[in-house]
Amino acid sequence: MFGEYGYIEKGRLGKPYDIKLLKRLALYALAYKTRILVALVLAVVVTLLDLAAPYLSKIAIDRYILASWYRVDLDGQGEKALEFTRQYGHLVEKNRENDLAVISSLDIKEIDPAQLHMYRSLGIITTERFYRSMEENPEVTALLETGLPFYEMRDRGILIPYSAIDSMDREDLLKLRARDIHGVFMIGSLFLVLILLSFGISYVEYYTLEYAGQHIMQDIRLELFSRIEHQAIRFFDRHPIGRLVTRVTNDVENLNEMFKSVFVTLLKDFFLLTGILAVLLYLNWRLALVSFLILPFIFGLAFLFSKLARQAFRELRATVARINAFLQERLSGMSAIQLFATEKFQMDAFDRINHKNYLAGMKQIKVFSLFMPLMELLSSLAVALLIWYGGGRVIEEQLSLGALVAFISYIQMFFKPIRDISEKYNIMQAAMASTERIFEFIDHKEIIPEPESPKAPDDVKGELSFQGVSFSYQEGVPVLEDISFDVNPGEMIAVVGATGSGKTTLVNLVERLYDPDKGRVLLDSVDLRQWPKNRLRSHMGFCMQDVFLFSGSLSENITLGRPGIGQKEVVRAAQKVNALSFVEKLPEKLEYEIGERGSTLSGGQRQLLSFARALAADPKILILDEATSSVDPETERLIKRAISEMTAQRTTLVVAHRLSTIRNADRILVMHKGRIVEQGSHETLMSLEGVYYRLNRIREAEE
């Protein structure tokens, strides 16, 4: 979804949940527990509000629109009438004259269906319907005086036969049924209030959860980033940057998706499903159970769909990744395609993968084309079932019409969460895979350890020594073998050797980017492994061949946010290495913002900047990897001067490429295949008449 950082994650998707991983994730959520709790409570409230809608329409229909009373005829029915009175007498109301008994249509479902059938056929409960008006209403009283047939009840209520009502004119009807009209108005208003409440609460709930989710992600992201950052360089040798970046950005983003869909949608859906089931059982448990017959089909279909959709989705994603990979290669290699006139060949290859993508897309369409209509069909099946079976219960007075209508609404509501759940499965799966990868990195500890009992002299002189150091990046492929040498405080040592002779590794060990396999590297007679890492690094300055610049201002690139390096130090350092001369020409001087990847600065300027960076903390030891690339003569001169300025009175280890630099060194190490083959001052080496001697002789001859 988000642009992957030039890196496409391989490997298969795993299971959709893993309790151990979820538990660990929950720990991060704990920091925001109040918000999450609030959001969940709000989610429950919203669910309840959502559930209220069909129920309100049920009330409107049953209580106000279709409210009716049936006459009960107990005269001359003998034993059955007595039985009825005994069992259901409390439901029956009588009029003042005691010649009319009625029962409310809402109460009738209390009667056992078999008995009801019998009472109906015996004529104990008749089909004659009455409307019941408000107890005291002057308008109704006025109506009654016009000669409408009515019965006055004991509680002063008025019963009017429906047969009379149906022939009433509109004006009168309005007066008579004012109570019901008011009732539906109140229900409508209540409904409106509920909608607005639900709207507001949903808003707050969503926002709260998003807030919690975003902050949890930020916490995880920072922890992960920090863990990775503290891994040893070896770790970075093994992992391509793209993968690390994907971990910190996209994988964490996947977690966010999961947080939203699991904790939010799934929980809400779960509430809703339970809520619907509960309401249905409450409305009429028999009908509820009948309609549950359809559940296994719904779940079965949803499960099957999620499986098929997952496959289709995976296939589609794989083909998109292939198109991406293909294009990335061909677009950057277009010149070769055109030079070798291989356009047709490439076009055919593209057609093939493009067609595969099309087929995968069609497969997905097929899956969805089947599932979506089938799901709708099931939903309609449920409605049909309700009309048939539920309608039957309405005829039997077991169910009110309003309840049937509500039932239909609830059943239709039921389908959404189920499909949601099957859709979320994919996200869950991807997120679990991401979680696993994230924790794998968080748990990975490949750090250059801090000393247990740190030792560091208060006053650093800058004496560096290697004692019998051996090192290899890969087992069995030694890069340094038994290296021993000393650099006295303030001395400058030049390391000379062909590519692959181990010069850079030597520097890496001084920086303690790696620890030696054998032997020791010492600064002021203390093993580097015993120095607190930060103290050690504050005494060293480094200038590497390819200068790495960070986005930000020049001065930020010099300070790197180090405490104790202020504007004054920056200016001093920049001046010392002759960087000020070009900095002054820039519009914002030291506050000049470096463009993307430092592209606006020339190679020489970048060199000078890295010198300033190294010098800003006034280090005791300087490590210098002399650049081989050519710069213009002017900058070349500046760099040369800067180097001699920097190296004065500092212990300096320089990987040298120029004879002039080498001649300035106090001592020279000639390396070959991880060993020191010659070492000593220029004069010593010359008198040795070895490699170094021959180098100089050839050079002289050429001059």
Partner 1 sequence: MEQRFFLLENTSRGRNASTGLTFHNLFCMSFSMERPFRFLGRISKDFHPLKRYFIRNRWSLALGFVCLLLVDFLQLLIPQVIKRAVDLLTVRAGTQELLLKHGLAILAIASLIALFRYVWRHLILGHARVVEKGLRRDLYEHLQKLSFSFYQRTKSGDIMAMAVNDLNAIRMAAGMGIVALTDGIVLGTAAIGFMMSISTRLTLISLIPAPVIILFSWTLTRRMSSGFERVQDTFSHLTEQVREAFAGIRVIKTYGREEWEKDRVEKEGRKYIRENMDLARTLALFFPMMAIFTNLGIAVVIWLGGRLTILGDISTGDFVAFISYLNLLTWPMMAMGWVTNLIQRGSASMRRINRILDETPEIQDPAQPIEDGEIKGEIRVRGLDFTYPGHEHNTLKDISLRIAPGETVALIGRVGTGKTTLLHLIPRLIDPPEQTLFVDGMDIRRIPLKRLRENIGFVSQEIIIFSDTVRNNVLFGREDVSDDTLERALVTAGIQDDIEALEQGLDTRLGERGVTLSGGQRQRLTIARALIQDPPILILDDALSMVDTLTEERILNNIYELRRNRTTLIVSHRTSTISMADRIIVMDGGRIAEQGTHGDLIKREGMYARIYQRHFIERELEKEFT
Of 44, 66, 92, 586, which one interacts with partner 1 (CB under 8 A)?
Answer: 66
Give 2's DSSP letter.
P
Binding-residue pattern over the window 519 to 558 for partner 1, x denoting contact by CB under 8 A: --------------xx--xx-x-x-x---x-xx-------
Closest approach of partner 1 to the CB of residue 638, in Å: 17
Residue 310, phi then psi, degrees to nearest 5:
-60, -45
**Are 20 and 436 spatial neighbours (Cβ–Cβ below 8 Å)?**
no
* Rounded least distance, CB 397 to partner 1, Å: 10
In the complex with partner 1, which residue's Cβ is closer, 82 or 193? 193
Question: In the complex with partner 1, which residue's Cβ is closer, 81 or 691?
Answer: 691
Residue 679: other Cβ atoms inside 10 A: 19
What residues from 128 to 187 belong to the interface with partner 1 (CB under 8 A)?
166, 170, 173-174, 177, 180-181, 184-185, 187
Contact 523, 622 (CB under 8 A): no
Rounded-to-integer distance, Cα 258 and Cα 430, Å? 9
Choose between 330 and 576: whose C-beta lies nearer to partner 1.
330
Q: Which residue has the tokens 């992600």?
A: 217
Compute the distance between CA of residue 663 and CA of residue 667 in angstroms, rounded to an integer. 9
- State the binding string over 184-203 for partner 1 (x if CB under 8 A, else -): xx-xxx-xx--x--xx--xx
Site for partner 1, residues 394 to 423, rule: CB under 8 A = 394-395, 401, 404-405, 408-409, 412, 415-416, 419, 423
Is the CA virtual torsion 643, 648, 653, 658 positive or negative?
positive
| Segment lying near partner 1 (by CB under 8 A), choices 37-45, 63-71, 108-116, 476-484 | 63-71
Give the whole-angstrom CA distance, residue 598 versus residue 654.
Answer: 25
Minimal distance, residue 97 CB to partner 1, in Å: 28
Residues 453 and 648 sit within 8 Å (Cβ to Cβ): no
Nearer to partner 1, 200 or 457 (CB): 200
Q: What's the closest the beta carbon of residue 557 comes to partner 1, in angstroms?
A: 10
Cα within 13 Å of Cα(77), Cβ side: 19
| Cβ(227)–Cβ(188) below 8 Å | no
Name which of 676, 675, 235, 655 is nearest 478 in CA terms.
675
Q: How far is the CB of 219 from partner 1 (least distance, A)?
A: 10
Q: Residues 94 to 133: which contact partner 1 by CB under 8 A?
A: 127
Q: Which residues sit opposite 676 in a β-bridge?
A: 671
Beta carbons within 10 angstroms of residue 654's beta carbon: 25
Residue nearer to partner 1 on the CB measure, 94 or 537:
537
Tell me whether residue 361 or residue 489 sits nearer to partner 1 (CB atom). Answer: 361
Other CB atoms within 10 Å distance of the CB of residue 192: 10
Strand-pair partners of 347:
none
Closest separation between CB of residue 96 and partner 1, Å? 27
**Rounded to the nearest whole angstrom, what is the least distance from the CB of residue 620 to partner 1 in the complex?**
15
Whether the CB-CB separation of 497 and 613 falls below 8 Å is answered with no
Smallest separation, CB 583 to partner 1 (Å)? 20
Nearest distance, CB of residue 536 and partner 1, angstroms: 8
Among 12, 599, 628, 683, binds partner 1 (CB under 8 A): 628
Smallest gap from Cβ 6 to partner 1, in A, equals: 8
Residues near 439 by beta carbon (within 8 Å), at least 6 away in sequence: 21, 24
Q: Select the residue interacting with partner 1 from 142, 289, 293, 377 (CB under 8 A).
A: 377
β-sheet with 464-474: strand ranges across: 477-487, 464-474, 518-523, 526-527
Name residues contacting partner 1, limited to 422-481 (CB under 8 A).
423
Three-state DSSP at 593 gives strand
Region binding partner 1 by CB under 8 A among candidate stretches 83-91, 364-372, 484-492, 567-575: 364-372
Biggest CA pair distance of the chain: 143
HEC profile for 264-292? Answer: HHHHHHHHHHHHHHHHHHHHCHHHHHHHH
| Residue 263 DSSP symbol | I
Torsion of Cα atoms, 562 then 568 then 571 then 574, to 10°: -50
- Binding to partner 1 by CB under 8 A, coded x per residue (else -) over 274-313, reads ----------------------------------------
- How far, in whole angstroms, is CA 280 from its chain's centroid? 36
Stretch that binds partner 1, among 81-89, 349-357, 454-462, 573-581 (CB under 8 A): 349-357
**Region 636-695 residues binding partner 1, contact defined as CB under 8 A:** 656-659, 662, 670, 672-673, 691, 694-695
- Kindly tell me which residue out of 47, 133, 284, 501 binds partner 1, with binding defined by CB under 8 A: 501
Minimum CB distance to partner 1, residue 343 (Å): 5
User: Site size for partner 1, by CB under 8 A?
Assistant: 166
**Region near partner 1 per CB under 8 A, out of 75-83, 289-297, 485-493, 623-631:** 623-631
Contact present, 116 and 108 (Cβ < 8 Å)? yes
- Considering beta carbons, is residue 84 or 531 the nearer one to partner 1? 531
Task: Choose the binding region for partner 1 from 28-36, 72-80, 110-118, 330-338 (rule: CB under 8 A).
Answer: 330-338
Closest Cα to residue 16, out of 313, 434, 464? 434
Cα distance between residue 23 and residue 26, in whole Å: 5
Q: Does 366 bind partner 1 (CB under 8 A)?
A: yes
Whole-angstrom distance between the N-terminal and C-terminal Cα of the chain? 63
Within 203-262, which residues bind partner 1 (CB under 8 A)?
A: 203-204, 206-207, 210-211, 214-215, 218, 221-222, 225-226, 228-230, 233, 236, 241, 244-245, 248-249, 253
To the nearest whole angstrom, how small is the minimum distance from the Cβ of residue 530 to partner 1? 16
Q: Which residues pair with 589 in a beta bridge?
A: none
